[in-house]
Structures are given as structure tokens and as C-alpha cells.
Amino acid sequence: MAKKISRNTFLTENSPSISAFASITGEKEGSGPIGSCFDRVEKDSHFGQDSWEKAESELQKQTVELAIKKAGLKSADIDCIFSGDLINQCMGTTYGLRDLNIPFLGIYGACSTMAEGLLLATLLTDSGLGEHIAAATSSHFSTAERQFRFPLSYGGQRTPSAQWTCTASGAVILSPQGGAPYIKAVSIGNITDLGITDANNMGAAMAPAAASTIKNYLSDTGLTPDDFDVIVTGDLGTVGSQLLKELLLKDNIDISVQHRDCGAIIFDSEEQDTHAGGSGCGCSASVLCGYFLPKVQTGEIKEMIFAATGALMSPTASQQGESIPSISHLIHISYKI
Amino acid sequence: MAKKISRNTFLTENSPSISAFASITGEKEGSGPIGSCFDRVEKDSHFGQDSWEKAESELQKQTVELAIKKAGLKSADIDCIFSGDLINQCMGTTYGLRDLNIPFLGIYGACSTMAEGLLLATLLTDSGLGEHIAAATSSHFSTAERQFRFPLSYGGQRTPSAQWTCTASGAVILSPQGGAPYIKAVSIGNITDLGITDANNMGAAMAPAAASTIKNYLSDTGLTPDDFDVIVTGDLGTVGSQLLKELLLKDNIDISVQHRDCGAIIFDSEEQDTHAGGSGCGCSASVLCGYFLPKVQTGEIKEMIFAATGALMSPTASQQGESIPSISHLIHISYKI
């Protein structure tokens, strides 16, 4: 049973194992600097479907099925699944998972969804409430761009701080027993809003949430950045990453050596014209499952923080002049049990 | 620590107490047959705000604050809160709760949200992971109707099977110790889709999910409808309620004596022109917190099932000809510890 050591942070008692993980992306993500790490790169951005939303559903379904297969299990072996996505009413998730017949708990954390699902799956697994609990999420460039910004065919100019929504999905299976990676601790985020109103600068909106969650976690545990090989954020991109480091430096926390951002890693901004980097629920989910977890599995990375961030905005809120609330949940992942 | 007795169902070990609960509704709900049971009925449907979405945020915020106050606590005493709503990107929730500074876990279960939040809060509380865990949700007629159906000023004709989205919110606080009501068990739902495509007949879309979850729970526990004073569904309305009873009768389960539906209770359909009844996340949440939980607190109701249902559809999916997947999570609430 996990131990609550502060208002936000829980240390696990039995270090649940991420017993399987899978990632599938679109072709642009597969052509990026870390493209070879994903389990599968799909050339058909429609994933064989006749709408973008159905394409995202298919992407998430295939990724969850692949994680289950890699665990040597069947859908019927999964106790329950936590998932959500960015499309209105989480359509990518509900339509993607409806045929799998797995007890389903829908979550909404925008681009923090992978961390939120991992967090809840960790608390249930560590409390002995499941043998195989799954967490997943997805995003698709074509569903997100047209919902949050402009019609795809409009071809609007993108600002330098804009990010590129990844067509990608990641899924994990948590188990009480199994090999590395292990989850040592989780920390729930609080909603943070410093007044950013620019929907084309979500990195800046989300950086304060990541800074707050990372700072709280280090303070709660007495750990320092030097205790980690990497401190990974979700999709702050280049603009938000710089801001995160500056914010933490004000509290004398220097993560410049350890910090990596999934949104900054997944694309070559210059070559791929992605401006400030990748974004979307599937960005951090696929980079976690494709790039980082295999390195923890082999011991190349021994201790890591995964702090995905979510911009909890909606186009309606932006049109009403509202600022963008954000949240960041944190997972401490380790090579050692 | 809860005990998992089937793939879906968990019995609680320590019977967490619903130590406080609150409900606030709009004027139409307050003028209905059970209007006097709500903690507060607000005459201003804008809740002092300048948009419907901000009104819903304010409604949810005030309801959560009231539940916290009724528990004799402050925001800073709440370990974490599970909440979500129907507006795109759960705007009612994220903007409503951002100032409360409570560790936040966003959920999406459409109109099953209150049951999903209660379920997760129960599992964490029963595992010793919090002293005061909150669950909340809300809906607003004017945010939901214009998002899911037609512009408010269009004045479209409504079908006989259509339901009326409630302007309402409910919030609960769960604690390891406290008086009745107690939570004895919870059951996670699976996504169910029997092919209903009519967004104006959501009761019919959701009834199979409720039937499946109730049937599984009775089978998992060996209990029968006669073991309960009431078996409460969320917002099936009159059409969906009839279908639910017919579906369960096929399995020789007769709930006709015990069944109540929050959507069928909250309005007088004839007098208030609400057709098949109320709907929306706030419908079952406010009726649970305003009407049912006080009766369990006094022992007038000794054993009850609360099985809220959610239609996991989106306007985009409906426009693409998709059917409506649904889900129902179940909470067994008792007067006895």
C-alpha cells in the first residue's frame, strides 16, 4: 500500500512494475530524430479509417492491443484501463476502446493524461487492487489542429512558439510483479494558472505547473536533481522548457543537466518545421514508451522523473478571453526495485 | 484495503463514510417535485458570470465549497478531488476548481462522472490514501444544449424521447471515519454499445450499460434486488428506465419495485415540459446529494445502489454516423457500517 508523505506525494510500498509498454506513431514522428525507437510507424495517417477521429481511435486501440500482446496477455486479462485524450468528449478513447471490453475509467488531463493514468494505475496496483492495470492515451495532428486552432485546409501561418500536435499513442501495463522499470513514487498536481492567454504558446502556460510539481516533489522527498539521470517533461517544447528551467532556478533548483522534454526531442524543429516542438497527449506517451522506458529497462537510465503537463484550456474558453489553467502530475520511475 | 471479488467489483474493508455532501441547482430544478431537497436553488442562471460556461464553473465551485464547509473543513484540508463535466475539455471543472488549490484528478465519464469519482475516491480512501477525498461534477442546460444539440436561440422542436440537461451540481467528501452513509462496494463499468445512433434518445443508448453493470454486481455479490430499498440510475429518463427494466427481466432480474431514476424524479415532465426527464452530469449528482444521501443518513433508506450512466458520444461522432457507446459505474451505499 502506498504511503502518503505530503498532500500531493505518495511513495509506493511494492514498486509496481511497468511490465509492458508500447508506442505507435505517424510518419512525421517516425521520421524524426528518435523515430526508430517506436514499436511501429504507420504511413497511413488515416489508419485505414474514413475520418481523422476514427483514425485516432484506431491508433489508440492498436497501441493498447500491442501493449497487451507485449505483456503476453489478452484483453480479458486486463483488470481495468485508465485513458483519455484531447478530442471533445474523449472520442479517440471511448470509440477506440469500446470493443476491447475492459473495465474503463475515463480521465481528462489534456497532455498530462499519460502521467495521470500512470499515477492512478500505480495507486491501485500498489494497493493490491489489480494484477494488470493499463494506462493509455493518444493524439492525432488532424483531430487536434482542426478542433483547437484552424481548419486543416486553411493553411494558417503558425507562430514561432506554436507546437505541432503529434500523431502518436502510448500504452503501459502495470503489474505488482515484474522487471524494471519500477514506479517508486507519484505526485498529484494542482491546477496552476499564471495568466497566459495565448493558445499558440502552451509551453509557457504549462511551465509553471511543471515547475510547481517538480519543486514540490523534490521538497517532499528530500531528493535533488542530481539524484536523477533525467527529469522529463511532456510537451513544453523549446519555449516552455527554457521557462521551466528559469522558474526552478529562482528556487535554486538547477535541472539544466537532467532536463529533457518529449516535445523538444520528438522532432527536428529546423528540418521538420515544427517550430517550438511536438505536443499532444500522444507526444509524451509515445516518447515515454518508445524512448525512455526501454532505457530504464536496460539500466542505461537508473532514476527518472516523468512530469507530463496538460493545458486545461478549450477553444470556447480562449474565445471568452480566459487564461489557460495547467496541471502536471509526476511519476518517479526507477531501474531498481 | 478494498477486496477485489471479480474483474469489476471491489468490496470495501473499512466502509468509507460520505462525511459531507452538497447540491446546488438552477431555478427549474428547484421548482420540480423534489426542489426543496437541494441545499440551494440559484435564481440567476448566469450565476453572476458573463458566459454560460463561466456560470457552470461558478456553480461547480460553489457546490464544492459548500460540501467542504458542511464537512467543517477548508479547501486546504482536502487531499484531492476527482471531477469532470460535459463541456469540451471539461471547462466547467478546470476553470471552476482552479482557485481552490486542491490536488486535482480530472475524469471523463459523461453523466456517469459522479459515480466514477465516488468509485475512485472510495478505492483511495479505503486504501488509506486520504483523509478527505472529494468527488464532484456539474452540468448546465445552456452549456450542454448549445454544445450537443442546437443554438439556444434556435428554438428547435424537441422529440418525445429527448431529455432536459439539468443546471445542477453535486459534491461529496469521503473520509475513512464518519457517520452514514457508508460505501460498501463499487463496480467499474465496461463500455457498452448496442448501436443506438439517436442523440435525442440517450436513455435508450445508456440503458444497456446500466443493465450490464447492475446484473454483474448482483451476480458478483450474490445479492438480489430485494436486498436493496432503492436501485437508483442516473439519467435514463422515462424511456431508458422502461428499457432497463425490460433488459434485466430477460435475465430474470426484476427491479420494478426498487428502481428510481434521477432523471425521472427531478422534473414533472407534464408540468415542466421536460419530455423524457432530466439529464446531464449534475442531474444524478444533485439528486444523489440532495434527495437520496439525506435519506441514507437518517436510515429511511438502508441499502441503495447508485448506478449513474454516461453516454460517451460527441457531436462529431454523431455527425460521422457513429453509434453511442455508454458506461455505468456502480456504488453500493449503506446506512450500516
Selection from B168, B195, B233, B146 nearest residue B326 by Cα: B195
Q: Quick check: A104 and B188 CB within 8 A? A: yes
pLDDT of residue B67: 98
Residues 110-169 (A) with a CB less than 8 A from some CB of B? 110, 116, 119-120, 123-124, 127-130
B312 at the A interface (CB within 8 A)? yes
Whether B108 and A108 have beta carbons less than 8 Å apart is answered as yes
Q: With helix as H, strand as E and coil as C, how does chain A read?
A: CCEECCCCEEECCCCCEEEEEEEEEEHHHHCCCCHHHCCEEECCCCCCCCCHHHHHHHHHHHHHHHHHHHCCCCHHHCCEEEEEECCHHHHHHHHHHHHHCCCEEEECCHHHHHHHHHHHHHHHHHCCCCCCEEEEEEECHHHHHHHHCCCHHHCCCCCCCCCEECCEEEEEEEECCCCCCEEEEEECCCCECCCCCCCCCHHHHHHHHHHHHHHHHHHHHCCCHHHCCEEEECCCHHHHHHHHHHHHHCCCCCCCCCEEEHHHHCCCHHHHCCCCCEECHHHHHHHHHHHHHHHHHHCCCCEEEEEEEEECCCHHHHHCCCCCCEEEEEEEEECCC
How does DSSP classify residue B324?
-
Which residues are within 8 A (CB) of A59 and not within 5 positions of it... i.e. 6 or more apart? A24, A42, A47, A92, A96, A138, A140, A167, A168, A169, A282
User: pLDDT tens, position by position, for chain B (337 residues)?
Assistant: 899 999 999 999 999 999 999 999 999 999 999 999 999 999 999 999 999 999 999 999 999 999 999 999 999 999 999 999 999 999 999 999 999 999 999 999 999 999 999 999 999 999 999 999 999 999 999 999 889 888 888 888 888 899 999 999 999 999 999 999 999 999 999 999 999 998 888 899 999 999 999 999 999 999 999 999 999 999 999 999 999 999 999 999 999 999 999 999 999 999 999 999 999 999 999 999 999 999 999 999 999 999 999 999 889 999 999 999 999 999 999 999 9
The predicted model gives A5-34 an average pLDDT of 98
B327 at the A interface (CB within 8 A)? yes
What is the distance between the alpha carbons of residues A329 and A331, in angstroms, rounded to a whole number? 7
Q: For helices A141-148 and A52-70, what crossing angle results, to 10°?
A: 140
Which chain A residue shows the shortest CA-CA distance from B143? Answer: A316
Whether B144 and B280 have beta carbons less than 8 Å apart is answered as yes
Selection from A117, A125, A119, A137 nearest residue A17 by Cα: A125
List chain A residues with CB under 8 Å of B327. Answer: 104, 106
Length of chain A: 337
Nearest to A10 among B51, B101, B129 (CB): B129
pLDDT of residue B1: 87
ipTM value greater than 0.95: yes
Banded pLDDT at A44 (limits 50, 70, 90): very high
Q: Quick check: B120 and A101 CB within 8 A? A: no
Element (H, E) at B36: none
Do strands B17-26 and A104-106 pair parallel, antiparallel, or not at all (unpaired)? unpaired
Q: Quick check: A107 and B102 CB within 8 A? A: no
pLDDT of residue A171: 98
Residues 66-95 (B) with a CB less than 8 A from some CB of A? 79-80, 84, 86-91, 94-95
Whether B5 and B221 have beta carbons less than 8 Å apart is answered as yes
**Coil vs helix vs strand at B263:** helix
The predicted model gives A90-98 an average pLDDT of 97
Cα distances (angstroms) measured from residue A148 to each of A65, A311, A336, B89, B318: 28, 12, 41, 11, 19
Nearest to B317 among A84, A91, A127 (CB): A91
Q: Quick check: A314 and B89 CB within 8 A? A: yes
List chain A residues with CB under 8 Å of B331. Answer: none
pLDDT of residue A151: 87
What is the distance between the alpha carbons of residues A148 and B134, in angstroms, rounded to a whole number? 30
pLDDT of residue B150: 85
Q: Please give the backbone phi and psi of residue A91, each rounded to the nearest 5 degrees, phi first.
A: -65, -35
pLDDT tens, A142-167?
999 889 888 888 888 888 899 999 99
Q: For helices A202-221 and A237-249, what crossing angle results, to 10°?
A: 40
List chain B residues with CB under 8 Å of A97. Answer: 191
What is the distance between the alpha carbons of residues B110 and B89, in angstroms, rounded to a whole number? 12
List chain B residues with CB under 8 Å of A86. Answer: 89
Q: Quick check: A103 and B54 CB within 8 A? A: no
Q: Quick check: B4 and A79 CB within 8 A? A: yes
Which chain B residue shows the shortest CA-CA distance from A90? Answer: B108
Q: Which of B14, B191, B314, B330 to mutate to test the interface with A (most CBs of A within 10 A)?
A: B191
Whether B203 and B163 have beta carbons less than 8 Å apart is answered as yes
B288 at the A interface (CB within 8 A)? no
